[in-house]
Amino acid sequence: MTLIKEEKFNKLLADEGKHIRDINDTYEPAHYDEEGNYIEEHFPYYFEEAYIPKKIINIDELYVEEDI
């Protein structure tokens, strides 16, 4: 993961052959919650490039880089 500092925002780039996801965005299998509602399967959202606010400094606590 590479953080490129720009004037208004910082750009976060994934290394070659990898992609990035939010550390809390994980796979969830389909299931029923406590109230009996059906919750569909959830796949994490991955990206290779993103613009993030300048005030975010420690990206390792927010994002995870994984092999594609």
Chain segment 36-57, per-residue pLDDT in tens: 999 999 999 999 999 998 888 7
Beta strand 2-5 pairing with 9-13: antiparallel
Residue 6: which domain range?
Answer: 2-67
Instruction: Please give the pLDDT value at position 31.
Output: 96
* pLDDT at position 8: 85
Residue count of the chain: 68
- pTM, two decimals, is 0.79
What total of structural domains would you count in the chain?
1
